Amino acid sequence: MERLQKYLASCGVDSRRKCEELILSGKVKVNGIVIKDLGTKVTEKDEVLVNNIKVEKQEKLYYLLYKPEKIICSVKDEKGRKTVIDLIEEKEKIFPVGRLDYDTSGLLLLTNDGELSNMLTHPKKNVKKTYYAKIEGILLPNEIKALENGIILDGKKTKKADVKVRKIDKRNNKSYVEITISEGRNHQVKNMFNYFNHKVLKLKRIQYAFLDLKGMNIGEYRSLSIKEVKKLYNYVNNL
């Protein structure tokens, strides 16, 4: 027996919170009866309908993709451009966990597990993400300090970050920097460097929580192991 909203989320209908809204708005029927009570419990033997369509448990899929640049990070693109979903063969109802910009490469998770995705992208959960950035100009010590302690972007201070300069190319006036953040605001890394007028020329996500791209080539993907999925749940539950 499990709560209806949890059951719906595990069938891939939507996140648990969205499923609660569906229930409260009278869109869910159990064995032919509209249920609006969030305490209701069901088993797989019950017939559950959402908007009069039967929903069923589905196998959970988890992929780690090494996203190339120039690929849209969404399920569909209205202009018909290639999306990250097009890169995965078994694309049954999977979606990206969070976003990477069109011109950003690197580690992206894709899944049909709405519950895990919801937790990983929740603003209250500070999932660590590390990026490798090639930036215009030489990053100065006071700028590093400010980026680490927080700067004001869109009227809100960024959370603590970790910044490591990996290489300085004085001749070409470029810096190569590793930055770890625990937020997921839009274009956050680019905006953080832009704050000090360092245009980001290339950006790659090299780590997400404890996962990295070791052994992978650009455009490749792999399934997460059961161990890694469990570890991700543990990671996010302990944040």
Touching ligand URA, residues 107-146 (CB under 6 A): none
Helix (H) / strand (E) element for 49: namely: strand 48-50
Total binding residues for ligand URA by CB under 6 A? 8
> Is residue 100 close enough to count as binding ligand URA by CB under 6 A?
yes
Q: Which of 16, 67, 174, 190 binds ligand URA (CB under 6 A)?
A: 190
- The least CB distance from residue 200 to ligand URA, in Å, is 7
- The least CB distance from residue 188 to ligand URA, in Å, is 4
Q: Is 169 in contact with 154 (CB distance < 8 Å)?
A: no
The one catalytic residue in 37, 46, 86, 101 is: 101
- The least CB distance from residue 104 to ligand URA, in Å, is 3
Instruction: Output 16 or 190, the one with its CB closest to ligand URA.
Output: 190
Q: Which of 6, 187, 202, 231 binds ligand URA (CB under 6 A)?
A: 187
45: left (phi over 0), alpha (psi -120 to 50) or beta: alpha
Instruction: Output 162 or 229, the one with its CB closest to ligand URA.
Output: 162
Q: Is residue 146 classed exposed, middle or buried when 0-12, 13-18 and 19+ CB atoms within 10 A define those classes?
A: middle
- The least CB distance from residue 189 to ligand URA, in Å, is 3
Contacts of 140 (CB under 8 A, 6+ apart): 196
Instruction: Output 40 or 194, the one with its CB closest to ligand URA.
Output: 194
Is 101 a residue of the active site? yes
Alpha helices by DSSP H, the chain: 4-10, 16-24, 114-121, 141-149, 188-194, 226-237
Convert residues 191-220 into a mask of x (bound to ligand URA by CB under 6 A) and - (unbound): ------------x-----------------
Angle between helix axes 226-237 and 114-121 (nearest 10 degrees) is 40
Q: How far apart are CA 78 and CA 86, in angstroms?
A: 14
Range in contact with ligand URA (rule: CB under 6 A) among 58-66, 165-173, 182-190, 213-221: 182-190
Look at residues 109, 114, 113, 85 and name the one whose alpha carbon lies nearest to residue 98.
Answer: 109
Helix, strand, coil shares of the chain as percentages rounded to 5? Answer: 25, 30, 45
Residues near ligand URA (CB under 6 A)? 100-101, 104, 187-190, 203
Catalytic residues: 101
